[in-house]
């Protein structure tokens, strides 16, 4: 039999009351969180800019057109001296801040950093276009590497996407497999580096050469994983 088993609240000890947290008073924020170079800019209290030095993940949540860019993203792109990787679908951030982070712009001293803007649809303006750069995903594929087929599959999947619930999944997979095969074919056979890219994939897809290329791919199987995959994807 178990006797005197403690249950519930121990009234012999004192506990602090709940809900002791509170917002930091604005004067304490202004005096203890004054912004300095290298910090994440948070805003200002009165006329005092404030910031924190922190390398942890953070999230800014607000409704559409609530001012996330103007109040948080753009100030930090203009002020933070460290490296940044920015996803900017509309090109607004690059348009406003690329010159500042690079060699400078009209009325703006540059930070002297290397700036690379990936803008395939040319939506950026101001000084951003002078920092245009390119990325060729086919450069990652080495036909002699065991991961070549997987790399080509990832690229094809990112170009032709769909879910298992799609009504036309067969055609989605067929298109994806054809592009995967063409990517492997180009990486295996194209000697000119200027044609070893997705532009060449698109050209072949829209050219009279496609059927000839597919027949060639069918005949190239048997020499390794890459050619086997090419031959398999060429089969209708």
Phi, psi of 45 (to 5 degrees): -110, 115
> What are the average pLDDT values for consecutive 10-residue runs of the chain, which has 236 residues?
57 67 89 94 94 91 92 96 95 96 92 96 93 94 91 93 76 89 93 94 94 86 69 62
Q: How far apart are CA 141 and CA 163, in angstroms?
A: 25
Measured distance CA(34)–CA(25) in Å, rounded: 14
Q: Which residues of 28-46 are buried (b: 16+ CB within 10 A; e: fewer)?
A: ebbeebebeeebbbbeebe
From residue 28, give the alpha-carbon distance in Å to each of 34, 51, 120. 10, 13, 47
Q: Any idea where the domains of the chain sit in the sequence?
A: 29-53+60-131, 137-234
Please report the pLDDT score of residue 201 as a whole number: 96
Closest of 198, 193, 116, 191 to residue 155, by C-alpha: 198
């Amino acid at each position: 039999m178990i006797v005197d088993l403690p249950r519930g609240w121990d009234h012999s000890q004192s506990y602090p009351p709940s809900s002791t947290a509170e917002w930091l008073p604005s004067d304490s924020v202004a005096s203890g969180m004054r912004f300095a170079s290298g910090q994440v800019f948070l805003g200002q209290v009165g006329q005092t800019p404030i910031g924190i030095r922190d390398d942890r993940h953070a999230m800014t949540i607000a409704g559409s057109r609530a001012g996330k860019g103007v109040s948080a993203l753009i100030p930090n792109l203009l002020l933070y001296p460290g490296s940044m990787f920015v996803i900017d679908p509309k090109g607004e951030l690059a348009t406003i801040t690329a010159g500042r982070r690079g060699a400078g712009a009209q009325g703006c001293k540059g930070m002297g950093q290397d700036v690379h803007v990936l803008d395939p649809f040319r939506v950026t303006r101001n000084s951003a276009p002078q920092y245009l750069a390119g990325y060729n995903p086919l450069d990652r594929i080495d036909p002699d590497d065991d991961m070549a087929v997987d790399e080509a599959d990832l690229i094809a999947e990112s170009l032709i996407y769909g879910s298992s619930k799609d009504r036309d999944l067969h055609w989605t997979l067929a298109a994806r497999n054809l592009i995967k095969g063409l990517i492997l074919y180009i990486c295996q056979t194209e000697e000119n580096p200027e044609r070893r890219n997705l532009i060449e994939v698109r050209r072949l897809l829209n050219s009279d050469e496609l059927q000839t290329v597919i027949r060639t791919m069918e005949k190239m199987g048997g020499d390794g994983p890459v050619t086997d995959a090419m031959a398999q994807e060429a089969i209708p």
